[in-house]
Amino acid sequence: MLLSQNPLRASMIFCVAAMASLTLFTATTAEARGTAIVYTAELQAPVDAAQEIIKGAVIHCSGTKCIGGQSTSSPRTICAKIADKFGPVASFAYKDEAFDAEALAKCNN
């Protein structure tokens, strides 16, 4: 008897496959929601709520506040790209370490 000829066996295999898929999907979405915020920026002027992917980091901006997750690029690059996309940056921090005035000036150029 072939697998397709036994409805109970076919149903059991389908259920196992569905459970495996559900488990993998749940783990993936939970991991995505748990992304740590490593970049914080304060813009000089408010913007409408927006989301951009900058050098692999998802950056959310609303009003004058921007936050973002980890990227493989340097914090200076992310800061400069935020300034390009959303406007001049008043303050910027990476993992709670704030940029000084000189670094902010480079970021905004």
Report the pLDDT value the prediction gives residue 12, as an integer from 0 to 100.
72
Helices (H) and strands (E) in the chain, counts: 3, 4
Indicate whether 11 and 60 sit together in one domain: no
Alpha-carbon distance of 106 to 99, in angstroms, equals 10
Indicate whether 17 and 55 sit together in one domain: no
Provide, rounded to the nearest whole percent, the portion of the chain with pLDDT above 90: 59
Report the pLDDT value the prediction gives residue 24, as an integer from 0 to 100.
53
Indicate whether 97 and 69 sit together in one domain: yes
Report the pLDDT value the prediction gives residue 8, as an integer from 0 to 100.
75
Indicate whether 50 and 100 sit together in one domain: yes
Indicate whether 67 and 27 sit together in one domain: no
Q: What is the pTM of this model?
A: 0.67
Indicate whether 14 and 54 sit together in one domain: no
**Average pLDDT rounded to a whole number, residues 21-29:** 50
Q: 5-9, 16-20, 45-49, 81-85: which range is least confident on average?
A: 16-20
Residue range of the domain that includes 48:
39-107
Within 10 A of 93 (CB to CB), how many other CB atoms are there?
15
Token couple for 59 = 């950056």
Indicate whether 54 and 89 sit together in one domain: yes
pLDDT band of 101, cuts 50, 70, 90: very high
Q: Domains in the chain: how many in total?
A: 2
What three-state secondary structure class fits 92?
Answer: strand
What is the bridge-based pairing of β-strands 89-94 and 57-68? Answer: unpaired
Indicate whether 50 and 80 sit together in one domain: yes
Q: Say if residue 17's pLDDT is above 80.
A: no
Indicate whether 66 and 28 sit together in one domain: no
